[in-house]
Chain A
């Protein structure tokens, strides 16, 4: 089974702190994604990576950066956390597959910025 793990289930940070969210997948997937999920807004793509050191902006990249130094690991960085970044963060991975695009998700990190 594909396993996607995220470093924390719950995280509380203060405004202005630098926050790192880590995601690891064990199935050698090329693609990795970071989403945030907010009530009434569904899932919104923050960043996407299709290979090591490669990244593309999603729909809401402002205030975030990412790092992918190894194929299995994709990190989301909040350079200076703000209260409007309080949200559920979901990581996902998928094969590079023109016919499927099926994504496998981690359990999520609920981040609260106070």
Chain B
């Protein structure tokens, strides 16, 4: 199965700063998605970028995709304490399956 791999694993920033996290994958994809998980809860879908797209925005989120390097980045601008969470990338494969990375822990200090 494909696996997304986020990098770095943990990030601690001040409120108002930007947070960037990266994800790499191994094989060709239809799309790549980012999810957020607040402590001890389920995952929530944030944004999807298709393989023919290079950049996508949603509110304070910006996702880029470089299929030649098999990598994606998620940027959260003007971070807030409520952005404290784990962030996972996921790549689609097979019968509607997703392969998730191990996650980035982001802590936003008020």
Contacts and interface: CB of A to CB of B under 8 A. Distances in A.
Interface string B41-71: 1111100101000000000000000000000
B17 to A, nearest CB: 26
Given A92-B42, A105-B35, 15 more contacts: A35-B100, A41-B102, A42-B100, A48-B95, A94-B96, A98-B96, A99-B30, A100-B92, A101-B97, A101-B98, A102-B33, A103-B45, A104-B45, A107-B42, A108-B41
B33 A56 contact: no
Nearest to B101: A42
A11 B100 CA distance: 25
Contacts of A102: 33, 45, 48
Interface residues of A, number: 32
28 contacts: A4-B42, A33-B97, A42-B88, A42-B101, A43-B43, A43-B100, A45-B97, A48-B97, A56-B95, A58-B97, A59-B1, A90-B42, A90-B43, A92-B42, A98-B96, A99-B31, A99-B50, A101-B30, A101-B92, A102-B33, A102-B45, A103-B45, A103-B98, A104-B45, A105-B35, A105-B42, A107-B42, A108-B41
Nearest to B44: A105
Nearest to B99: A45
A25 to B, nearest CB: 12
A105 to B, nearest CB: 3
B96 A50 contact: yes
Interface majority SS on B: helix, strand, loop or mixed? strand
B104 to A, nearest CB: 11
B31 A100 contact: yes
B79 to A, nearest CB: 23
